């Protein structure tokens, strides 16, 4: 029996880009803070939806209204209320990504993190990497068998060690608070973004039966 490990490492172009947007408001009155947050959230959603099918997924990650105290150790003395909405965006068309990022970053009290480049979970790249890893395991086992004067006769077990790739850290691309009130109304210039190559790794362990080796020292 021969036990081997096969591995494949592939480079691939990303298929999607993820953005995380934080929309904020801060007012002295709780209801006013909530109303401002609702307006800004809707403005952000309308902007993203205007890109149609270029945006593959749009989700609200969470909402919070937090009282801000004048003094950290004194209860009941509130100076303002801060509202935050988190919006998660998956973009499939990279041609509009630079424009979308700058327009989002130009919104008032809006922070944008991203892009985080990725492959879809069902990407064929993962299957291709797994097949190459299995082929490498067969070739390695065959090479060992040849060195011993044997030949492969059967497969006992093939186990997948798992697929994965290093996570790229998202880069903040937009200012935390966007355009100041009363600023220029012209649309910002799209930022030039270069998609990062994705590294896909696959590894398998395999055991093969072999014919009796030829160990004749001659």
pLDDT score recorded for residue 180: 40
pLDDT score recorded for residue 174: 36
Q: How far apart are CA 9 and CA 65, in angstroms?
A: 46
pLDDT score recorded for residue 183: 47
Q: How many CA atoms does the CB half-sphere of 183 hold within 13 Å?
A: 11
Query: For the residues of 97-149, what is the DSSP string, one character each?
Result: HHHHHHHHHTSTTEEEEEEEEE--TT-HHHHHHHHHHHHHHHHHHHHHHHHTT
pLDDT score recorded for residue 215: 73
pLDDT score recorded for residue 190: 85
* Residue 91 CB neighbour total at 10 angstroms: 23
> What are the 10-residue block averages of pLDDT along the chain, 218 residues in total?
93 95 93 93 95 95 87 72 95 95 93 93 93 95 93 91 42 38 64 91 93 76
Domains detected in the chain: 2-210 (3.30.70.2970)
pTM as predicted? 0.74
pLDDT score recorded for residue 73: 60
Closest to 19 in 3D by CA, of 180, 174, 176, 186: 174
């Amino acid at each position: 029996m021969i036990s081997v490990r096969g591995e494949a490492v592939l480079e691939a172009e990303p298929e999607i880009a993820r953005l995380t947007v934080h929309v904020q408001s801060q007012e002295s009155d709780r209801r006013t803070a909530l109303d401002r947050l609702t307006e800004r959230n809707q403005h952000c959603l309308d902007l993203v939806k205007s890109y149609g099918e270029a945006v593959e997924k749009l989700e609200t990650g969470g909402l919070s209204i937090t009282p801000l105290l004048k003094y950290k150790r004194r209860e009941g003395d509130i100076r303002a209320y801060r509202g935050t909405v988190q919006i998660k965006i998956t973009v499939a068309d990279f041609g509009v990504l630079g424009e979308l990022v700058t327009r989002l970053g130009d919104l008032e009290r809006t922070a944008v993190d991203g892009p985080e480049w990725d492959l879809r979970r069902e990407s064929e790249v993962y299957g291709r990497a797994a097949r190459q890893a299995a082929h490498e395991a067969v070739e390695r086992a065959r090479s060992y068998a040849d060195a011993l004067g044997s030949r492969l006769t059967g497969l006992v077990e093939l186990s997948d060690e798992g697929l994965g790739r290093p996570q790229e850290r998202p880069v903040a691309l937009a200012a935390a608070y966007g355009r100041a009130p009363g600023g220029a109304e012209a649309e910002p210039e799209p930022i030039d973004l270069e998609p990062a190559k994705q590294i896909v790794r696959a590894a398998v362990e395999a055991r093969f039966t072999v014919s009796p080796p030829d160990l004749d020292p001659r």
